[in-house]
Amino acid sequence: MESVIPTAPEQPADEKDNQIKSPDQRPDAPPDYNSHFVPGPPGPAVPAPAGYAGGLPMGYNSPQQPGTFFSYQPAGGAHPIRYQPGKYHMSNQPVSVTWMPGPPPIPNCPPGLEYLTQLDTIHVLQHFEPLEMITSFETNNGYDIKNNLDQMVYIVNEDTDDFTRNAYRTLRPFILRVTDCMGREIMTMQRPFRCTCCCFCCPSTRQELEVQCPPGVTIGFVAEHWNLCRAVYSIQNEKKENVMRVRGPCSTYGCGSDSVFEVKSLDGVSNIGSIIRKWNGLLSAMGDADQFEIHFPLDMDVKMKAMIFGACFLIDFMYFERSPRRSSR
């Protein structure tokens, strides 16, 4: 008998066409099947690592390519990192602050006070410190100074040590440093310690504030006057000569209403300006975050504007600074 060699059954032609052919081994041959790959959006633009010979991979933008991305330059790195706005949560991103445009230098004007020559109203906004309410630990006060357009004019920060703040509380001596948009200290306000445990009519117990602009150069003083029922201050020049008076309301702790301190001439007839402590609801009643509004004539001498500005802080510490209650044992 002849041996029969088995052979594979012959497949139909249509089944052969449906099979995927093995790719051609030639490198220049294109694939013979349709690709279902859909390219995604371009990735974040990053520079090529050191020593990378092939440049940037496909699908990456060049760092010089303009687009709708902003850069964050790390403190110790050499390359910027780019983020798409609104896509990633950046908790450490600083809040943008709009500053008042800096005016040109003015003759016979202390440097940094040129801003006040263009203003007749400024707003003093104290920072709210929840740590004081929670821990009863007195912290340094901070204030934002803005104009009517909500533009930042100055930043005021208290510079007092922890022991002095918590030992003397509202009677503490302090130094307030006023800085501009460049971070330069353009004004310093100092309050010496005055004991109030003896006779109130004694001159040595009256509160006083010294204003220096630039720091180290005294331009005036704010001196308290004893009065039985209201707050009265004198605004003095560098020679301690009285120039204006500040007259407060009979009750400075008014609940639900503003407290107005009028700035008057020495004879008490002419109204020059005002320092208004604004009532801002719960923060005024419970928190220590006061808001003031200061008014003065636009053409007023800039040094006197600075003195009225300084009087606002002495009034705040004397009448509206609320120290946290200490727990009693």
Q: Express each pLDDT in 95-109 by its tens digit.
A: 678 999 988 989 989
| Rounded Cα distance, 240 and 220, in Å | 7
Closest by Cα among 169, 165, 127 to 145: 127
Banded model confidence at residue 288, pLDDT cuts 50, 70, 90: low
| Rounded Cα distance, 276 and 262, in Å | 8
Token pair listed for 50 = 């050191």
Q: Is residue 88 part of a domain?
A: no
Banded model confidence at residue 13, pLDDT cuts 50, 70, 90: low
Q: Is residue 44 part of a domain?
A: no
Q: Is residue 1 part of a domain?
A: no
pLDDT at 259 over 50: yes
pLDDT at 145 over 80: yes
Q: Determine whether 143 is exposed, middle or buried from the number of CB atoms within 10 Å of its CB (0-12, 13-18, 19+).
A: buried
- What average pLDDT does the segment 25-34 reach? 52
Q: Is residue 201 part of a domain?
A: yes
Banded model confidence at residue 206, pLDDT cuts 50, 70, 90: confident
Closest by Cα among 75, 77, 71 to 90: 71
pLDDT at 49 over 80: no
How high is the pLDDT of residue 301? 96
247-255 contacts, C-beta under 8 A, 24 or more apart = 248/315, 248/319, 252/277, 252/319, 252/320, 253/319, 254/279, 255/285
Q: Is residue 54 part of a domain?
A: no
Beta strands in the chain (DSSP E): 70-72, 81-83, 121-126, 142-146, 152-158, 174-179, 185-191, 208-212, 218-225, 232-237, 242-247, 259-264, 271-278, 291-295
- What average pLDDT does the segment 154-179 reach? 91
pLDDT at 85 over 60: no
Range of the structural domain that residue 184 is part of = 115-320
- What average pLDDT does the segment 103-121 reach? 93
Residues near 240 by beta carbon (within 8 Å), at least 6 away in sequence: 221, 223
pLDDT at 20 over 80: no
Q: Is residue 198 part of a domain?
A: yes
Q: Are 236 and 310 in contact (CB under 8 A)?
A: no
Give SS3 for 162: helix
> The CATH number of the domain where 239 resides is what?
3.20.90
How high is the pLDDT of residue 62? 40
pTM of the full structure: 0.68
For the chain, give the percent of residues with pLDDT over 90: 43
- For the chain, how are helix, strand and coil distributed in percent, rounded to 5? 15, 25, 60
Residues near 227 by beta carbon (within 8 Å), at least 6 away in sequence: none
Total domains, the chain = 1
Query: Which region among 53-57, 133-137, 212-216, 280-284 has the lowest average model confidence (pLDDT)?
Result: 53-57
How high is the pLDDT of residue 283? 59
How high is the pLDDT of residue 10? 57
pLDDT at 16 over 80: no
Report the DSSP pairing between strands 185-191 and 208-212. Answer: antiparallel
- What average pLDDT does the segment 156-181 reach? 91
Q: Is residue 8 part of a domain?
A: no
pLDDT at 218 over 60: yes
Selected residue with higher pLDDT from 42 and 21: 42
| Cis peptide bond N-terminal to 110, omega within 30 | no
Q: Is residue 231 part of a domain?
A: yes
Closest by Cα among 121, 131, 183, 193 to 157: 183
Q: What is the CA radius of gyration of the chain?
A: 35
Rounded to 5 degrees, φ, ψ at 133 are -75, -30
Banded model confidence at residue 194, pLDDT cuts 50, 70, 90: confident
Phi-psi region of 199 (alpha: psi -120 to 50; beta: other; left: phi over 0): beta
Report the DSSP pairing between strands 121-126 and 81-83. Answer: unpaired
Selected residue with higher pLDDT from 186 and 31: 186
